[in-house]
A and B are shown apart, each in its own frame.
Chain A
Amino acid sequence: SAVISQKPSRDICQRGTSLTIQCQVDSQVTMMFWYRQQPGQSLTLIATANQGSEATYESGFVIDKFPISRPNLTFSTLTVSNMSPEDSSIYLCSVEQGSYGYTFGSGTRLTVV
């Protein structure tokens, strides 16, 4: 199965700033997903990012707040824009690989102060 390198692993950011999270996959994958896990909560899907098309956002998430890039089949970024303390969460990327199932990045623990 694929190996995903996710960066940064953690960050502390000032409110009003933006943070870009990167996921690099060691093989080409079609479907990549971005999730948010708020403290004490389960994972929630932010958007599905497929190469060559606009990301598809879930209800409650908008492109202006969480712009996503997917320039090729091995790389994607998620930006958390104009951050507030409510954005403090773990953010994870994931890829779908058929019979191998799903592989997750190691997560980015974001604290907004």
Chain B
Amino acid sequence: KNEVEQSPQNLTAQEGEFITINCSYSVGISALHWLQQHPGGGIVSLFMLSSGKKKHGRLIATINIQEKHSSLHITASHPRDSAVYICAEIGSNYKLTFGKGTLLTVNP
């Protein structure tokens, strides 16, 4: 059974802090997605990566295929970064298996 584990479940930070969210998965995958979900429910794709590291603005995602582990980092966090961050592994037949999400709250 595919399992995706995220930590922490909840994270509160002060504006400007460096944030790390971790994701572990249990089986070999083709790629991993990091997603952002705002309170209204809509989901935005942040990264899709199968190796190494990707950077977009203040967001950095890394993946270690051998260790089946990925991290999402946010530098210089801001209150507008407050959201639920979800990692999802892309398995067979393009199906996504989602982690339970990390609720990030960044206080001013």
Interface of B is mostly: strand
Most buried by B among A92, A102, A109: A102
Measured CB to CB, the closest approach of chain B to A48, in angstroms, equals: 7
Beta-carbon contact of A107 and B100 below 8 Å: no
The range of chain B's interface size is: 20 to 34
Q: Which residues of B contact A103 (CB under 8 A)?
A: 45
Beta-carbon contact of B41 and A37 below 8 Å: yes
Distance of A96 Cα from B101 Cα, bound (Å): 21
Beta-carbon contact of B95 and A45 below 8 Å: yes
Beta-carbon contact of A106 and B100 below 8 Å: no
Q: Which residue of B lies closest to A107 (CB)?
A: B41
Give chain A interface residues in 24-70, CB to chain B under 8 Å.
Answer: 31, 33, 37, 41-45, 48
Q: Which residue of B lies closest to A1 (CB)?
A: B45
Q: Which residues of A contact B44 (CB under 8 A)?
A: 104
Chain B 77-108: CB-based contact to A (< 8 A → 1; otherwise 0): 00000000010100001111011110000000
Beta-carbon contact of B43 and A92 below 8 Å: yes
7 A-B pairs, CB-CB below 8 angstroms?
Answer: A37-B41, A42-B86, A43-B96, A48-B94, A101-B31, A102-B45, A107-B40
Across the interface, B96 reaches (CB within 8 A) one of A37, A45, A109, namely A45
Chain B 38-82: CB-based contact to A (< 8 A → 1; otherwise 0): 001111110010000000000000000000000000000000000
Across the interface, A41 reaches (CB within 8 A) one of B41, B95, B100, namely B100
Q: Which residue of B lies closest to A90 (CB)?
A: B41
Distance of A108 Cα from B43 Cα, bound (Å): 12
Q: Which residues of B contact A90 (CB under 8 A)?
A: 41
Distance of A107 Cα from B39 Cα, bound (Å): 11
| 9 A-B pairs with the lowest CB-CB distances in the bound complex, closest first | A107-B41, A101-B48, A104-B43, A106-B42, A90-B41, A42-B98, A43-B98, A42-B100, A96-B94
